Amino acid sequence: MNKVCIKINGHEYNMCGSETKDHMLRIGSFVDEKMQEVMRSNHRLSTAMAAVLTSLNIANELFKKKDELDSIASRIKVPLEDIEAAHTVVEKMGESLDEKQQTIEKLETEISSYDEKLKQYQLQVQQLEQAKQQLLDELQEKEKKVMEAEEIVTDFQNRLYQLQMKVVHLEKEA
């Protein structure tokens, strides 16, 4: 609890409150200035009358400020509601963004899995192509051997035919 001594219209008053001393001194000074204004406007007023008129003037200012504040509050009500609505939309968009981020992460995991499978399939294809090439090379080698064997067979058939012709020719001569 703070205590200060303030002077209003030449009289000292002890004031205590939970506000700071500086704040209470400002209030006392404000009231003193308002009371001095009332006293200057009419020198014949008693201190009690000046205090009542000062209180009325301060109350008038307070009510005007309250009306101003109410007016401002009513003018900002719709924008505040709009801000709240926008905040709700932003929250929903954030939730949607989180869901989409989770979907993206899931898809990235699937893509990674498919990439790994693709690499495995590419390796298998490469191995199969190598095996195919090896088989083709072997087939070509065997076809070459078959051709060589066919040439040998043809050569033997030709020799056999020639020998048979010689036998027939020798049998005719004998």
Q: Which residues, at least 6 apart from 50, have a Cβ–Cβ distance to it below 8 Å?
A: 9, 35, 38, 39
Per-residue pLDDT of the chain (174 residues; tens, 9 = 90+): 999 999 998 899 999 999 999 999 999 999 999 999 999 998 898 989 999 999 999 999 999 999 999 999 888 888 888 899 999 999 999 999 999 999 999 999 999 999 999 999 999 999 999 999 999 999 999 999 999 999 999 999 999 999 999 998 888 887
Helix H segments across the chain?
A: 21-41, 47-173
Provide the pLDDT for residue 171: 86
What dihedral do alpha carbons 46, 50, 56, 62 form, nearest 10°? -160
33 in Cβ contact with 54 (< 8 Å)? no
How buried is 116 (Cβ within 10 angstroms: 0-12 exposed, 13-18 middle, 19+ buried)? exposed
Q: Which residues, at least 6 apart from 9, have a Cβ–Cβ distance to it below 8 Å?
A: 32, 35, 36, 39, 47, 50, 51
Q: Cα(142)–Cα(150) distance, rounded to whole angstroms?
A: 12
Alpha carbon of residue 13 to chain centroid: 61
